[in-house]
Structure 1
Amino acid sequence: MCLKACSNSSILLIADLIRKFCFSIRGFSEEDLRTISKYYQPYLTYVIEYDLTSILQNLVTKRILTNEEAKSYKDREDAEGSEGVAWFVSDVLGKSRDVVIKLWEALAEEIMRFPSPNMKTILEEVAERGSALLIEIQLQDKHKAALDPYTRVLEEQPGPGNAHPREVSFENRYTELMIINQYRRTRGETHHELLETGKKHAKLLENRMQEKCKRIWINQLFRRRPGRDEHPRIVVVSGVAGIGKTTMVQKFMFDWVRDLHYQRFMFVFLFKFRELNLIEEEEATMPLTRLIVKLNKHLNDPRLREILKRPESVLFVFDGLDEYKHRLDFTQKRLCSNPEDVFPIPVIVTSLITQTLLKGCSVLITSRPTALEPLDTKRVDRYAEILGFFPEQRKRYFMKFFDSPLGTKAFEYVQQNDIIYTMCYNPSYCWIICSVLKSHFTAEEWKQRHAPKTITELFVIFITNILTNHKREADDTRGNLVKIGKMAYHGVKNRTLVFYDKFEMSTFGLTSLQSSPFLSGFMREILQRESCLEHTTYTFFHLTIQEFLAACYYFLDPSADVSEMLGNLDSCTDGSFEILTRFLAGLCRVPMTKPLQSILGQFKTQTGRKVLGWLKERTERAVKDLQNKNKTKELLHIFQWLYETQNALLIRDSIRELTKLEFTNTTLSPLDCAVLGYVLSQGGAVKEIDLSRTRLTKECMNRLGPAFHRCHTLRLERCGLTSSCCEDLASALCTNHSNLTELDLRYNNQLGDSGVRLLCAALRDPNCKLQTLKLHGCGLTSECCKDLASALCTNHSNLTELDLSSNNQLGDSGVRLLCAALRDPNCKLQTLK
């Protein structure tokens, strides 16, 4: 809008506003002027970006800048864009009081030509609230200073070769998370959340969806969407345990405290739901103002009430809804509307979300997906989901962790192990893997064993390394591990992630360890300790650490009987015991647990026998129920447990009745295929594998390859196979002990001539026993017929049936080559379609 479009009354109002503003700005002392200027600095950069040239001309006219100085500022903007403008603002605001005032006046005058809503707001705030605004800025500075210790560093946990924790800055260690601007609500989830998210990652990568995800960054959570008039007010960020929700909040606060982002919020109040639990133990009801002061003593100030009168400049951050002992109730009619009124804390939180309290304020909530069911979706303006690390971020994390060429070596090893690599989307899991691999790759050559293959082996090494560093600090290491394991199992069973010193820690006899060397040693490396009010809370650094120690409890405690827990697994339908069961299976493998037993003493052999017996019985039952299509997924879960045992004899005995495996019209991730490939390669009973109408990638085929040569019939109809998939099929056909006699590849129309060429090379191999090959509708042309003819004429060819129907481009020349092969005395073909 230009000057001509303004009405006379508007011009007069703007002129009056400029006059009042200039009067106020000249009335500030130099110190107050610097304070106001620093507060608005990010806004000034944003405003000046629109027309730096006009501002520079104005300052030259006022003889504040020379033509040469103005040209250098303009050249810098041309070269660096917004960073150049930011440098100009910072440089001018650092000059004398008179220069700073002239800059402000020049900006005020520019609003007559190009009205900027941001600049108009600044003029109004300074003109109408000058001294009050200064007081609030001072209080904000006090608040940011109090928050600074929370945002300054990430604590690097002590690991193998690093016996003591050290602090590292966000800039040096933080790796940007993948956050997508969507969220699918979870109801009645039947699988472990960590495993499901891992599979989701694998599927996204497989379908090359990473580029298609609508990604957002932390500084965009409250950004206005295109076409919307208002910023989102209520934002919910979901993510599984250990994915980085709290770290994201910490980064959010880090950016706000350092004036990097979200400066439109005058105040950001951070609440952790685990802290609200403790506050409610002491005082169940209170006003919002008291709740704020309870966790921010420095805000015990009458000015707080004035701040809350402008809710649009306030943000409330609530971290960890899944840790809250209450369900938020959006159906209750009596909500809070006044920050001075006394209400239960859950009602205050609900009232902020529904905007009955402080209408216009902003709220950010983080939670695990399992706790979001009761949330009123109509109240939420934006859902986002943290997916963690995609491959690029995973590699970057490894490089930062090792800070040496070992990072590349460790990452390449992990990439080759689907079981471990799939879980690398989770930052906490990445830390565990890196800690273990650091000890492995930095050990002397004679000490090096093979790197871990299973998740159980990974955690055995992880815990062993920590215990080795702190052997001398514990009087009763095994006894303490039993107590911790018992508490960990209680947490898994009751979905508890936060343990309180005066509750769970006391109940399980761990209170005495809080002041012992054992706490500063081993416990500090597995438990994160936080103080709130007069309480201390503990959380395991990752859910899988909690689950591993819960499994160890049954192998360490003489009084713990695993039978009852195993008996209850049939009734567990939410997947919460899935990883715990894998650990139980893996810990039965004696060679794997020897490092732990050398420190803790012998594991209970009775527990191992019971777990393996239960696993064998469970597998046999699932094999018998395979005619029920719904049981195939259950069998896949059981195969995951069998994989952890690495027990070939157990696997062979358990699946001896499995003659046909049918996973048709389903979804298999590369991780599923790796497990299937391993388990099926250990047993020789499976005669037929049918994966028809199940999409299989090159990675999937590579993982399944070890199992293919053991079966007699392999059905891969409509699996979306490409020519590159045939490398693994060809390898299975010509393996020395190959049993494959029938291969069904119908309707894989991207297989093509190059794929058939690879298969034909295998058909010419003397080890190949294939008799039936079905290539119906595989997009073949005459180009492949020369290879087919050559394979048919090989003197040791066993092929008796070949289906080439619905390959309409074979043509006369292709048929002519095949006919010539049929006349060859070595050709055994009886059926050609």
Structure 2
Amino acid sequence: MANVKQQLKNSLDELVEAELKDFQWCLMNDHGCVSKAEMENADRLKTVDKMVSCFGPKGAVKITVDTLRKIKQNDLAEELENTQKQGSSSDQCKTPVDDTDLNLRLKKKLMLDYKRILVNNSQTGRRKCLNDIYTDLYMVENETGGILCEHEVRQIESSYNRPTTEDTPIQCKDIFKIHPDTGLLNRKVLTMGIAGVGKTFSVNKFILDWAEGEDNQEIVFIFPLPFRRLNLIKEECSLMELLNKYFFIRSEELLSLPEEDGKVLFIFDGLDECRFPLRFEDCEEFEDVGQKTTVDKIVINLIKGHLMSSSLIWITSRPAAASVIPRDYIDQVTEVRGFNDEQKEQYFIKNSSAEVAGNIISHIRKSRSLYIMCYIPVFCWISLTVLQPLLARECSEKTPTTLTGMYINFLLTQQQLMEKKYSHDRDSKVNARCFDDIVLKLGRLAFQQLEKGNLIFYKEDLQECGLDVSEGTVFSGLCTLMFQEEKVSARKVYSFIHLSVQEFLAALYVFYITNNKKRNPFLDSWKKLTWKLSEKPLFRLHKAAVKKTLQSKNGHLDLFLRFLLGLSLESNQSDLKELLPELKLKTENIKDTTDYIKEKIEEEKSAERTINLFHCLNELKDDFVEDLQKSLSSGNLTSQDLSSAQWSGLVFVLLMSEETQEKFELQKYRRSDEALMRLMPVVKNTTRALLQSCNLSSRSCDLLYPILKSSNCVLRELDLSNNDLQDSGVKLLSDGLKSQHCKLETLSSDFKPLTPERAGSELQSSRRFRSQAALSTTGGSKLHTGHTQHGSWRRDQD
């Protein structure tokens, strides 16, 4: 193709400007795919690129010869013809293969690649039919309204506490369909979701359905280009060379791409795994599909629309990495939320039986944190692996009820698999010690890479931690379900099956070196630290880890901290000794740790960080939250003077409650502006906020105003009746109602003392509400006497 383009350019270089204009005029008039706008300021290079993209290399040569003759440039036409005839067969322009033929061949290749997927890893896994094991995932338009760089488990908990009525569900197969409301096609879609939630699974299903002729048949070509594969391309290449290399058998078999809208889809899976820079601001722009350049420039120009402007682009990413791509280049954002409650049950039934599924669901419902985590498909698999054999036993005292307990038992299952594998081996004791060694080396890798924010690793990362891949020690059957190997092109990449497994192993490693090596990585940056026997090393570790976690801007150590604290429980000690026989455990009262966490709860201003600290107390099985729940159910809270920590605990309990997602009644807890201020995180996450008769003043309107204006607010009904909100409060509410982001549908309130004129002008100016109930007065008094003015307003749907 490059050879043909050069020959065409040589011919056009012989034309003076006037002759070039004649040539372009003929192209516009004779061929509909060449527009006047494209040719108006096009130079020779752009003219050649347009011809090749429209007609293919061979067609471009023929049309150039014909057009040269039309403008009386017969010598140039003859010279170009002769050049083509004289070229060797390897240099001649190949006859373009029909798109239909290539479409069928590509579908056949992708069907083979995606029909059966590898479950677990390349060493012990087995391939299963995707359609047999696929369970629909919950996908919505737009992303969770929270901070996108916060810890992913925190995001799961945050989105779980948001009413589902706020979401606009969308099926994966429909993301590139013309939107029925707008009649528009979203060309560039960014799909976000936390690690292990099912983004790649969704991509695989979309590709397979297309390859099998089930859906999206208007697309001619789909090219999956995961970042894991792109990371390994170091040499310069063109887009066409890239596609031919990975998707077609013969070099340059694919000579051109369809220019019609939406006929080609590029899928870039795993933006968070990208290891080359994506600099959108200063990237060289180009349109030539045959231009050789670096892979990052190809990706950027495809996303920006300079290269293949008519193509569809689908990018998947963990939320923390999504900001790499400016939203100016994205038409639609979707979010994979994993399994909803019904889909969780479907998963367990599909992979076990109705009876087993019922037992597992019943057990995990007892622990809110476990039930929420089952939104993640990978965690459902971990839960099934751990709970199915445990719940089958008559005595289930050791059945885990915390995240830490679940992951300890998951690791124990790997140990049991190892023991079974080597049960007839004379050197089984050696293999048992090998298990300890590899777990600790994996833990070191997990912790080092967690601090760096890496999810995928290369051979040199493993070697740094003493893992010799060449000897196969990592995949000797000991840790095959925790750690996976994947061959991408000629190079292998490695990862843990889920971020939470990496975080658990990192915590296990830190716990081990603290007890056995007397080292605290949070205090001495890996330098050895010797403590006096009188000191409490575990408490020092906990204290340093809590401080480090609270300093993190994105909460990347939140789950790690929960695991680290959970490992310190005495009830987990016997299991830990079974896992790591050489672990030196010294009994240490964890009361110092729980007291320290409660102190931090009193001081902490961030609701998200406070919530994670309460999760930490749950992992330590502290009774603080349980006592609060008992007081809440008994009604004693309304008469107690609550400390700052107790208020935070109340927020935690209510955010974990399904009931308050739908309706929050302030009267049940405390009737004051201060109570509302303390419980604002709950108000933000409820559909109905019933705040009537709670002694609220204009101070509460100051609190409610930013919620009404927020695009993330899920509030639909607000009852403020029988509160003295005063003029300033009414004004703030009115301003909030005017916001374009306000989604309130019903507002019930009494405004006093106000004249009817003032009340009407303030609320009616919003143009978003109309009165649905007649204004009335108390005891027949006139409105201007200052008695109550009652009114209920609803969103004007007209």
- Taking structure 2 as the reference length, the TM-score comes to 0.61
1:668 is displaced (CA, Å) by 4.2
- Distance in 2 between residues matched to 1:580 and 1:199, nearest whole Å: 18
What corresponds to 1:644 in structure 2? 619
Q: What SS class does the counterpart of residue 161 from structure 2 fall into?
A: helix
Task: Work out the CA distance in 2 between the residues paired with 1:197 and 1:617.
Answer: 27
2:428 matched to 1:470?
A: no
Maintained 8 Å contact 1:664/1:692: no
Q: Secondary structure at the match of 2:275?
A: coil
Asked if the contact 1:147/1:257 (under 8 Å) is kept, the reply is yes
Residue in structure 2 matched with residue 253 of structure 1 by the alignment: 207
Distance in structure 2 (CA, Å) of the matches to 1:232 and 1:521: 46
Determine if contact 1:353/1:379 at 8 Å carries over to the other structure.
Answer: yes
User: 2:491 — aligned with what?
Assistant: 535
Matched, 1:139 2:139: no
Q: Residue 327 of structure 1: CA displacement?
A: 4.0
Query: Which residue of 241, 244, 256 corresponds with 1:290?
Result: 241
What secondary structure does 1:384 align onto?
Answer: strand
- Secondary structure of 2:231's counterpart equals helix
Q: From the superposition, tell whether residues 182 and 634 of structure 1 become closer, same or farther in structure 2 (CA, over 3 Å).
A: closer
Structure 1 position 251, deviation (Å): 0.7
Query: Which amino acid in the other structure matches residue 163 of structure 2?
Result: L
Corresponding position of 2:572: 592
Residue number among 115, 119, 124 corresponding to 1:152 in the alignment: 115
Partner residue, 1:183: 143
| 1:170 counterpart letter in structure 2 | L
| Equivalent residue for 2:133, pick from 144, 164, 173 | 173
Q: Which residue pairs with 1:366 in the alignment?
A: 316
Q: 1:180 to 1:633 in 2, by over 3 A?
A: closer
Match of 2:220 among 254, 261, 266: 266
Separation in 2 of the partners of 1:164 and 1:524? 7
The 2-side partners of 1:137 and 1:529 are apart by: 36
Q: How does 1:547-566 map to 2 (within 5 A)?
A: 547-557=503-513, 558-559=516-517, 560-564=519-523, 566=545
CA contact (8 A) 1:239 1:368 kept: yes
| Cα separation, 2, equivalents of 1:192 and 1:147 | 34
Partner residue in 1 for 2:274: 324
Deviations 1:519-567 (A, max 9, x none): 1523320123210122111121111111000001123344452442625
- Alignment deviations for residues 484-528 of structure 1 (CA, whole Å, 9 cap, x no partner): 001111221111111112x21222222347624x51523320123
Q: Which amino acid in 1 is paired with 2:647?
A: F
Distance 2:366 2:559 in 1: 21
Equivalent residue number for residue 232 of structure 2:
278
Residue-by-residue CA offset, 1:365-403 (whole Å, 9 max, x unaligned): 000111121312122121111111111111111111213
Equivalent residue letter for 1:504: D
Assess if the C-alpha contact under 8 Å between 1:691 and 1:717 holds in 2. no
**Residues 507 and 149 of structure 1: is their aligned pair in 2 closer, same or farther, counting only changes over 3 Å?**
farther
Q: For the residues of structure 1 that align with 2:188 and 2:572, how far apart are their CA atoms?
A: 49
C-alpha distance in 1 between matches for 2:239 and 2:104: 21
What is the Cα deviation at residue 150 of structure 1?
3.1
Structure 1 CA distance for aligned equivalents of residues 348 and 111 of structure 2: 27
Judge conservation of contact 1:287–1:340 (CA < 8 Å) in 2: yes
The unaligned stretches of length 5 or more in structure 2 are 1-93, 423-430, 524-543, 628-640, 659-671, 697-718, 723-747, 749-777, 780-798
For 2:172, which of 199, 215, 218 is the aligned residue?
218
User: What is the identity, as a one-letter code, of the residue corresponding to 1:536?
Assistant: K
Q: Distance in 1 between matches of 2:203 and 2:601?
A: 44
In the alignment, the residues of structure 2 paired with residue 592 and residue 584 of structure 1 have an alpha-carbon distance, to the nearest angstrom, of 12
User: Are the aligned partners of 1:143 and 1:299 in contact in 2 as well (CA < 8 Å)?
Assistant: no
How far the C-alpha of 1:404 sits from its partner, in A, is 3.8
Aligned partner of residue 178 in structure 2, secondary structure: coil
- Give the CA deviation at 1:173: 1.6
Q: Distance in 2 between matches of 1:456 and 1:184?
A: 27
Matched, 1:510 2:485: no
Aligned sequence identity (%): 23
**Alpha-carbon spacing, 1:651–1:438, altered in 2? closer, same or farther (3 Å):** closer
Aligned in 2, Cα 1:233/1:379: closer, same or farther, shift over 3 Å?
Answer: same
- Please point out which of 481, 505, 508 is paired with 2:439: 481
**Deviation of the 1:147 alpha carbon:** 2.4
Q: Give the structure-1-normalised TM-score.
A: 0.59
Q: Mark the CA change 1:349 to 1:718 in structure 2 (over 3 Å): closer, same or farther.
A: farther
Work out whether residues 283 and 300 of structure 2, in 8 Å CA contact, stay in contact via their aligned partners in 1.
no
1:620 and 2:599 correspond: yes
Return the offset for 1:260: 0.9
Distance 1:665 1:465 in 2: 35
Cα distance, 1:436 vs. partner? 1.3
Q: Could you say if the C-alpha distance between residues 264 and 491 of structure 1 is closer, same or farther in structure 2, counting changes exceeding 3 Å? A: same
Q: Find the aligned partners of 2:243 and 2:607 in 1 and give their Cα distance.
A: 53
Q: Structure 1 pair 198/631, CA: closer, same or farther in 2 (3 Å)? A: closer
> Is the 1:695–1:718 contact (alpha carbons within 8 Å) kept by the matching residues of 2?
no
**Which of 293, 305, 323 is the matching residue for 2:255?**
305
| 1:352 equivalent in structure 2 | 302
Alpha carbons of structure 1 residues 228 and 562: separation in structure 2 relative to 1, 3 Å: same
**1:306 partner SS:** coil
What's the secondary structure of 2:225's corresponding residue?
Answer: strand
Are the counterparts in 2 of residues 548 and 583 from structure 1 also a CA contact under 8 Å? yes
Q: Which residue of 1 aligns with 2:158?
A: 199
1:470 counterpart SS class = helix
Once residues 719 and 369 of structure 1 are traced to their aligned partners in structure 2, the CA distance between those partners, rounded to angstroms, is: 41
> 2:340 is matched with which residue: 390, 398, 407?
390
SS at structure 2 position matched to 1:168: strand
* In 1, Cα distance between equivalents of 2:160 and 2:613: 22
The equivalent of 1:583 in structure 2 is 563
Q: In 2 relative to 1, CA 716–673 (structure 1 residues): closer, same or farther, beyond 3 Å? A: farther
Aligned-pair CA distance for 1:337: 1.1
Aligned to 1:601: 581
Change (3 A) 1:514 1:643: farther
Output the CA distance in 1 between the equivalents of 2:455 and 2:694: 44
User: Are 1:505 and 1:511, in contact at CA under 8 Å, matched by a contact in 2?
Assistant: yes
**Corresponding residue for residue 445 of structure 1:** 394
Q: Is the contact between residue 240 and residue 369 of structure 1 (CA under 8 Å) also seen in structure 2? A: yes
Deviation at 1:616, TM superposition (A): 4.0
Deviation of the 1:642 alpha carbon = 1.9
Q: Specify which structure has the bigger relative contact order, considering alpha-carbon pairs within 8 angstroms and separated by 6 or more residues.
A: 2
Which residue is equivalent to 1:232?
A: 186
Deviation at 1:355, TM superposition (A): 1.3
Q: Which AA in structure 2 matches 1:577?
A: L
Q: In structure 2, what is the Cα distance between the partners aligned to 1:306 and 1:659?
A: 70
User: What letter corresponds to residue 483 of structure 1 in structure 2?
Assistant: K
Local SS of the residue matching 1:215? coil
Amino acid at match of 1:455: L
Q: Distance in 2 between matches of 1:380 and 1:487?
A: 35
Structure number with the higher helix fraction is: 1
On the 8 A contact 2:245/2:251 being kept in 1, the answer is no
For 2:333, what is the secondary structure of its paired residue? strand
Alpha-carbon distance between aligned partners in 1 of 2:128 and 2:209, rounded to the nearest angstrom: 16
* Equivalent residue letter for 1:146: K
Per the alignment, residue 407 of structure 1 pairs with: 357
Q: 1:390 to 1:551 in 2, by over 3 A?
A: same
